Structures are given as C-alpha cells and as structure tokens.
Structure 1
Amino acid sequence: MRGLDLKAMAVDQLVERFIEICLGQDEALLDDDLAKFRRLFEQMRAVLDELKSRPDDQRTALIALYEHPNIQVRLKAAKNTLAVAPAEAQEVLEAIKASQWYPQAMEAGMCLRNLESGLFEPS
C-alpha cells in the first residue's frame, strides 16, 4: 500500500480500497497464499483505522457492501461494522454461516460464537 495517502482519500475511495483488499484476500485464500493474505490484512487494518478516525465513524460506509457479490467482501464488511451496525452485521454473518461457503462460512460462524460467548467485543 505504499504511496497511498489514506488521510487524503475520500470515504468512497477508502471503501473502494477496502473492496480491492477483500478481493485480493479471496484470491490469496484460493491460492493458499498466507503471506499475501497477511499483507492484505495489514492494509485492511489501515483502511479501517482511517475510516474509524473520521467524524461519525465512517465504517458505516461499509454497510453498503452487505450486498456485494463477493462473499469475502460481505464477510469483512459485516465483521468490521459490528460496532456500528450490530444487528444488521450479525444478520449478514448468519447468512454467510448458513451458506456453507468455506472458508468464509467457518469464519462467520466463529465470529458469531465469539460474540455470543463474550470472547469478542466489537469496538
């Protein structure tokens, strides 16, 4: 992500970057490329931190991705909006879990279990 000034990007540009990262993660999962996935995870974290730091916590812009055609985009959008739209995000996670589309269904199920047990608290 060198060369990208996240602070200078508009919210819609950050959302587009989030989508690109998720699609890259999906590809890395299919290719079993853990190193690439980890790099993309760090890039996603930077985008999310920037969105969260904006007035009124702009992670809410990711809610529009609940209907994205790619399951990895939907999964990451839902997980990363649990703090700002808990009921809606949990619905998306439930649907992904029920889809049995792995590995995303497993990640959604683990997230829901950790929420229910209190092990995970969205912030």
Structure 2
Amino acid sequence: MSKPSVTSMRITQLVQRFIEIGVAQADALDAFDTRKFNRLYDRKAEIVNELRARPGDQRRVLLTLFNHPNMQVRLNAAKSTLAVAPQEARAQLRAIQESQRFPQAGDAGMSLWNLEKGHFRPE
C-alpha cells in the first residue's frame, strides 16, 4: 500500500509526517548518510510547500514543534516558519545555535548569518 499524496493529507497528518522526516534526518546525520538526508529534505519540502498552499498558509502549525524533543525537528520547524513567524523562528534558531548541539547548532547559526546578511529571504 502506498502512502497518500501530501495533497490528500489532513494538516495533522502533514505535521506528523514532518516530525517523522525530522527524526529520520537526525538519524541520517548521526550515520553520516548524506544521500538519505537529502532525500528526506525533498520530502520535507513537499510538506512545507503543501502547508503554504493551503488556505491561509498553514505553516504556522509548525510553531507547535518548537518544543519537540528532537533538535532536527525544531530546526526544520524554525526554518520553515521564518516567513510566517519571523521573530519566533529567529528566536528558535538562536536557541538552537546557543545549545551548541551540533550539527543543528551550526545549521541554525549559518541560517541566522544568511538572514542577517540578506543572502536568504524567507518566502
């Protein structure tokens, strides 16, 4: 049985899948499996794009993940909500950076640097 298309999933299902992807990405990072991480990145992007396309831009539901126990899930949520909740997302990125839990702390720091330098503009 195949997984349902993101377009047919309820928001709660999209959030659950977002979490599963983040946890799997953390595992891939721990195993130094870049190929797996990149495949998962594409799946995460699909979910974020679907949430953005929903009426009212539903990416805000990802703010609920800022307290998730998995650092990669929190990082993904912060980066995915920069356009809809910039202050909260930046605060989350700063907290991840300050945690010094790598590699997510490094990713968060680079994201903040790119935002500050204008190299990245959230959509």
**Match in the other structure for 1:54:** 54
Counterparts of 1:78-97 in structure 2, within 5 Å, are 78-97=78-97
**Match in the other structure for 2:33:** 33
C-alpha RMSD of matched pairs (Å): 0.8
**Match in the other structure for 1:106:** 106
* 1:54-98 C-alpha deviation (Å, 9 max, x unpaired): 001011110000011111000010011000000000000000000
Distance 1:26 1:34 in 2: 11
How many residues in Structure 1 have an aligned counterpart in Structure 2?
Answer: 122
Gaps of 5+ in 1: none
**Match in the other structure for 1:21:** 21
**How far 1:3 moved relative to its partner?**
3.1
Distance 1:71 1:102 in 2: 9
Distance 1:107 1:18 in 2: 18
Q: How high is the sequence identity, in percent, across the aligned residues? A: 51
**Match in the other structure for 2:116:** 116
Gaps of 5+ in 2: none
Superposition TM-score, scaled by structure 2 size: 0.97
